[in-house]
Amino acid sequence: MSVFGLFRSRYSEACEAVVESDYDKVIDCCTKELDNGKTPYKLEALFLRGTFRFLYGYGDETLADLNAAISLAGDNKAYKATALIKRGSYYALVDQHDKCIESFDEAERTWPDNCDVYHHRGQVIYANFYIVGTFLK
């Protein structure tokens, strides 16, 4: 039996694919879950699909999913801050440094006790300033 029990959904299949390292199924399962207009997993599916689109290098689609997750997260600081961090990292990769810092700043305001905000922002600054030399002027 699945670790996700009797309540099967395309989102639960996506989660199971992650557990089983079957990553190529994740985006498709999340998309099918989101096609169900009444899904209770909309935020989770957007976040997971956005994460995998980021990892697979899908630019505009990544940003669309992360922005939708940020908007939908409301007061859920864990999802909102983590999506903001991923969005900041995306902006760093596409050389939109002002938007990168804005995303990290918003993540910090959303969840100031989340050490990931500082870790990822530090990595971006280090990589772009010390290695590339273009981030800070």
Domain for residue 10, yes or no? Answer: yes
The predicted pLDDT at position 63 comes to 97
Last residue of a domain, one of 33, 48, 73: 73
Average pLDDT in the chain: 90
pLDDT at 74: 94
In the structure, what pLDDT confidence band is assigned to residue 132 with cuts at 50, 70 and 90? low
Asked whether 67 and 87 are in contact (CB, 8 A), the reply is: yes
Shared-domain flag, residues 4 and 33: yes
Structural domain containing residue 37: 1-73
Note the pTM of the prediction, 2 decimals: 0.86
Q: Which two tokens stand for residue 3?
A: 């670790």
What does the pLDDT read at residue 1?
42
Whether residue 70 has pLDDT greater than 70 = yes
* pLDDT (tens digit per residue) in 90-130: 999 898 989 999 999 999 999 999 999 999 999 988 887 76
Please give the tally of structural domains in the chain: 2
